[in-house]
Chains A and B, each alone.
Chain A
């Protein structure tokens, strides 16, 4: 088991290294950050001074090696735009995104799994067909459109929920949380719903497919023949066995949403880190882009690790495989 974890971490470092080279070279090829930052009236001397101050007068490889050296000591450089440490900028914005995604994912699991089981148990019933049609809508409608429609309905016409921003927050240690206030929940409702709807649609489909696969299995038939209560069959025999695909998909989607909730964030002016990434790419703010992607790669690797460990907890055969 520890060997397995260490292997995974080594892989993570490999991925990070390759990715950082790609991002460095990519942004270098796009253009010169100083041309985005400096006033068009600036003289060449002022431009040179800025290039020097940002370290952009060095060759790309010197810049990269300097970055690696500093990164090894935990310093990911300062944002070209704000002059603040890149890591700090990202961490400041992280709680807002994580909070949004956790609420959205919880919503999607709580709604998606029961509906999916329902649709899987009685695939021919009209209610199941309605659920499946709804799920098609759920993930084929574009995210930003759903967001704007929700704003139009709940904020503009009904006027019951706010259309933007994060609402009142409560500080827990260094982290500001909005899930602890009523105002915060009101602000959270629409963006979380927007993000959660598509995910819920996916959960429905995954759960339904898994349910349909498990239902004809011998152990379910045997449990029925044994005369177990349907609720027991459902909660123990069925649910346990459909959990693996659900956890896989939920885990992947969670990581996806954390790293790229940007559409929802910009529609609702949610002060998360997705917006930071897009803004930084546009201004060629390389330190922020690199630090962000490194954090995300790291995060996704850890997330996959957690999912794998969960597998082993649930599925004895997976434990066997690792032991081999």
Chain B
């Protein structure tokens, strides 16, 4: 009897311990890669940004669908065409307890251009800013170089640092190396820094001074796990609570597994085919003499018509893609509703168009693709090549490791290539300007336009849109520009990649279109 009692007591104690360790809520996340640095202003890169935004807040934060929402700025308004005023929250405090003031914001903007060796500098988001000043303790005034409607989406990428904590003897204050050691990592965000061991766990804990709703997690652990199978195994064994990018082949099984749940975000990364339209001839199309068939709109239309986008999204992408005919999903800014659905595949019409353009027997073409840069990229390209071949255009795939692919693309060695564009602003103008704007690298126009599509009318529309402050008018201009490119088949959209997370049962994630994994948006469903 005694024995039974002790056993009972022991198991009760065990149960209690079990519940206790559960109530100490920790969240372990298996991430694809670790940040290249903890310096919030070092590198514009998803693994860095998602860690930064757990500890730091921007003035304006994008919500999961990329709509700007107030964060440290309660409200904002343009006071003239080039001047904006941001009113700061008065209750916002840094994790060390000190209050947020306009000086911290000014310091933050000052530091950005001073950070040395940055692989992708945050000046990307401050190009248009002429001046940042403190109007009073809780008002920040930002002056742009010219009327600039995208200021709000740009500053949503800029985490606000603490002037007191991030100052230092170096020109930039605390250096990147110091930040990597955890010094100066004082933000207003829901979590604060605990420790980081390179290549292993990055640990954060709840920030008791957070101005918003206190975070649900005592501790958050980011664990870099580059191998997708290893992430999946760790999630199945309970080693981690959440993983980024489950392998597409396992996804069906994950969705039916009673111990797991899956979260999907609207995708904003558009996978597209670019076609060489620079002139004649084109390097990847042999046997056509000096002619480049892609200069003919009918040929481009035929290539688009012969792609079965739905089949690719379902079978090659395992359902983590949305087939589309547009460059940005609805209801994001500038997307065209009528273009959202994938155009129906019509091989017969494609063949007729090719014959009409003078290629009744088709032609040969090489389709370039990176291998391993985007989800199933080479397999998607192979499928498209097979579809083109069925329509009469004998396509061969040239798959290359990403650095080799980008080098070849930048040297214009492809007649057609598959690539993808991640839109982090939820707004059409950056996409159009980079992908189909006339190539003028010094102006930042056409930076990813490897097909060298050029349409002066389109450039004029984009210029006009970027100087239009009225949202409604700008939206119409962008929709018009989008429609213009797509009906000219200047670029061929294929599908949006859908960012996916897998979590243990009982957790939910407000999946973000920008692919950030933010612990504050992970909730226990209880």
| A residues in contact with B238, CB < 8 Å | 159
Q: Known contacts A39-B124, A41-B444, A268-B230: does B403 contact A81 (CB below 8 Å)?
A: no
B-binding segment of A27-35, A247-255, A306-314: A27-35
The 8 Å CB contact of A275, one of B199, B236, B430, B442, is: B199
The A/B interface has a contact count, at CB < 8 Å, of 156
| B residues in contact with A276, CB < 8 Å | 199
Mask of A236-272 contacts with B, CB within 8 angstroms, 1/0: 0000000000000000000000000000001111011
| B residues in contact with A151, CB < 8 Å | 230, 233-234, 237
What is the minimal beta-carbon distance from A49 to any residue of chain B, in angstroms? Answer: 8
B229 interface contact, C-beta 8 A: yes
Which residue of the partner chain B has the closest CB to A272?
Answer: B199
Please determine whether B224 and A269 come into contact, CB atoms closer than 8 angstroms: yes
Which residue of the partner chain A has the closest CB to B223?
Answer: A165
Which residue of the partner chain B has the closest CB to A81?
Answer: B36
Q: Known contacts A46-B123, A83-B42: does B239 contact A53 (CB below 8 Å)?
A: no
Please determine whether B230 and A267 come into contact, CB atoms closer than 8 angstroms: yes
A71 interface contact, C-beta 8 A: no
Query: What is the total number of residues of chain A having a CB less than 8 Å from a CB of chain B?
Result: 55
Please determine whether B441 and A83 come into contact, CB atoms closer than 8 angstroms: no
| B residues in contact with A156, CB < 8 Å | 233, 236-237
| A residues in contact with B239, CB < 8 Å | 155, 162-165
What is the minimal beta-carbon distance from A147 to any residue of chain B, in angstroms? Answer: 8
The 8 Å CB contact of B33, one of A45, A144, A279, is: A279
* A13-38 interface with B by 8 A CB criterion: 30-33, 35-38
Please determine whether B403 and A46 come into contact, CB atoms closer than 8 angstroms: no
Mask of B113-139 contacts with A, CB within 8 angstroms, 1/0: 000111111011000000000000000
In the assembled complex, the Cα of A159 lies from the Cα of B33 at a distance in Å of 26
Interface size classification for chain B: 35 or more
Mask of B397-410 contacts with A, CB within 8 angstroms, 1/0: 00001111011001
Q: Known contacts A35-B407, A96-B199, A163-B237: does B227 contact A267 (CB below 8 Å)?
A: yes
Please determine whether B30 and A36 come into contact, CB atoms closer than 8 angstroms: no
B476 interface contact, C-beta 8 A: no
Q: Known contacts A30-B404, A43-B441, A155-B233: does B121 contact A266 (CB below 8 Å)?
A: no
| A residues in contact with B198, CB < 8 Å | 89, 92-93, 271
* B373-418 interface with A by 8 A CB criterion: 401-404, 406-407, 410
B5 interface contact, C-beta 8 A: no
Which residue of the partner chain A has the closest CB to B115?
Answer: A83
In the assembled complex, the Cα of A163 lies from the Cα of B229 at a distance in Å of 11
A176 interface contact, C-beta 8 A: yes
What is the minimal beta-carbon distance from B511 to any residue of chain A, in angstroms? Answer: 23
Which residue of the partner chain B has the closest CB to A263?
Answer: B227
| B residues in contact with A47, CB < 8 Å | 441
Which residue of the partner chain B has the closest CB to A176?
Answer: B197
Please determine whether A39 and B120 come into contact, CB atoms closer than 8 angstroms: yes
B177 interface contact, C-beta 8 A: yes
Mask of A208-229 contacts with B, CB within 8 angstroms, 1/0: 0000000000000000000000
Please determine whether B120 and A31 come into contact, CB atoms closer than 8 angstroms: no
A82 interface contact, C-beta 8 A: yes
Please determine whether B234 and A43 come into contact, CB atoms closer than 8 angstroms: no
| A residues in contact with B200, CB < 8 Å | 96, 165-166, 271
Please determine whether A32 and B410 come into contact, CB atoms closer than 8 angstroms: yes
| B residues in contact with A96, CB < 8 Å | 199-200
Please determine whether A35 and B410 come into contact, CB atoms closer than 8 angstroms: yes
Please determine whether B404 and A44 come into contact, CB atoms closer than 8 angstroms: no
In the assembled complex, the Cα of A43 lies from the Cα of B124 at a distance in Å of 9
Q: Known contacts A36-B402, A84-B177: does B227 contact A266 (CB below 8 Å)?
A: yes
A78 interface contact, C-beta 8 A: yes
Please determine whether B444 and A271 come into contact, CB atoms closer than 8 angstroms: no
Q: Known contacts A43-B447, A148-B233: does B403 contact A36 (CB below 8 Å)?
A: yes
| B residues in contact with A279, CB < 8 Å | 33, 226
A292 interface contact, C-beta 8 A: no
Please determine whether B237 and A162 come into contact, CB atoms closer than 8 angstroms: yes
Please determine whether A46 and B117 come into contact, CB atoms closer than 8 angstroms: no
| B residues in contact with A193, CB < 8 Å | none
B180 interface contact, C-beta 8 A: yes
Please determine whether B442 and A155 come into contact, CB atoms closer than 8 angstroms: no
What is the minimal beta-carbon distance from A113 to any residue of chain B, in angstroms? Answer: 31
Q: Known contacts A162-B239, A267-B229: does B124 contact A42 (CB below 8 Å)?
A: yes
Please determine whether A39 and B226 come into contact, CB atoms closer than 8 angstroms: no
B434 interface contact, C-beta 8 A: yes
Which residue of the partner chain A has the closest CB to B236?
Answer: A156
The 8 Å CB contact of B229, one of A43, A50, A148, is: A148
B448 interface contact, C-beta 8 A: yes
| B residues in contact with A165, CB < 8 Å | 200-201, 223, 239
Mask of B430-462 contacts with A, CB within 8 angstroms, 1/0: 100010000001111001100000000000000
The 8 Å CB contact of B223, one of A45, A164, A176, is: A164
What is the minimal beta-carbon distance from A55 to any residue of chain B, in angstroms? Answer: 11
In the assembled complex, the Cα of A155 lies from the Cα of B240 at a distance in Å of 12
Please determine whether A53 and B116 come into contact, CB atoms closer than 8 angstroms: yes
Which A positions have Cβ atoms within 8 angstroms of B?
Answer: 30-33, 35-47, 50, 53-54, 78, 80-84, 89, 92-93, 96, 144, 148, 151-152, 155-156, 159, 162-166, 169, 176, 266-269, 271-272, 275-276, 279, 282, 284
Please list 18 pairs of residues, one from A and one from B, whose beta carbons are closer than 8 Å in the complex, sorted by A's number.
A30-B401, A36-B402, A36-B406, A40-B447, A43-B444, A46-B124, A50-B118, A53-B117, A78-B117, A82-B37, A155-B236, A156-B236, A162-B237, A166-B200, A169-B197, A269-B223, A269-B230, A279-B226
Can you list the 10 inter-chain pairs with the closest CB atoms, starting with the nearest? A44-B441, A271-B199, A31-B403, A155-B237, A37-B119, A31-B407, A43-B444, A271-B200, A83-B117, A269-B225
Which B positions have Cβ atoms within 8 angstroms of A?
Answer: 30, 33, 36-37, 42-44, 116-121, 123-124, 176-177, 180, 197-201, 223-227, 229-231, 233-234, 236-240, 401-404, 406-407, 410, 421, 430, 434, 441-444, 447-448
Given contacts A39-B124, A46-B124, A53-B117, 6 further A-B pairs with CB under 8 A are A82-B180, A155-B237, A162-B239, A165-B201, A269-B227, A275-B199
